[in-house]
Amino acid sequence: MAENMKKCYQCKNKKPDAEFSSKGSRIVHNRSQLICNSCIEHIYRKNWDVPCQVCEQKPTVGDLKLCGPCTWGEAATAGGNW
Ligand SMILES: [Zn+2]
Ligand SMILES: [Zn+2]
């Protein structure tokens, strides 16, 4: 029965605070995932140390090595605007 308990798919121990959908689905999988707030913050943190693999812009999204526009395909997310 423990298998049916809903947990954050990232840290596997906290209770999920949100369901990953629209934005998150691009990053993780093409389906919604349950995730806690601290993992969301970690995934979407602005990484100013690593340039985008595609266009070399900064910041990039978390550990993805892709900038906002290359991650989501939305120019509005350039410059860490997410
Ligand atoms: Zn978590
Ligand atoms: Zn890019």
What residues does each domain of the chain span? 5-41, 46-77
Structure confidence at residue 16 (pLDDT)? 78
Q: Which residues contact 48 (CB under 8 A, 6 or more apart)?
A: 58, 59
CA of 69 to the centre of ligand 1 (A): 25
Write down the pLDDT at residue 68: 93
**How far away, in angstroms, is 71 Cα from ligand 1 center?**
21
Q: How far is the CA of 82 from the centre of ligand 2 (A)?
A: 14
1 CA to middle of ligand 1, Å? 21
Predicted TM-score (pTM) of the model is 0.69
C-alpha to C-alpha distance for 28 and 40, rounded to whole angstroms: 11
> What's the pLDDT tens digit per position in 48-66?
999 999 999 999 999 999 9
Query: pLDDT grade, residue 21 (50/70/90)?
Result: low
Distance of alpha carbon 17 from alpha carbon 59, whole angstroms: 26
pLDDT for 37 equals 84
**Polymer length in residues for the chain:** 82
| pLDDT value of position 48 | 98
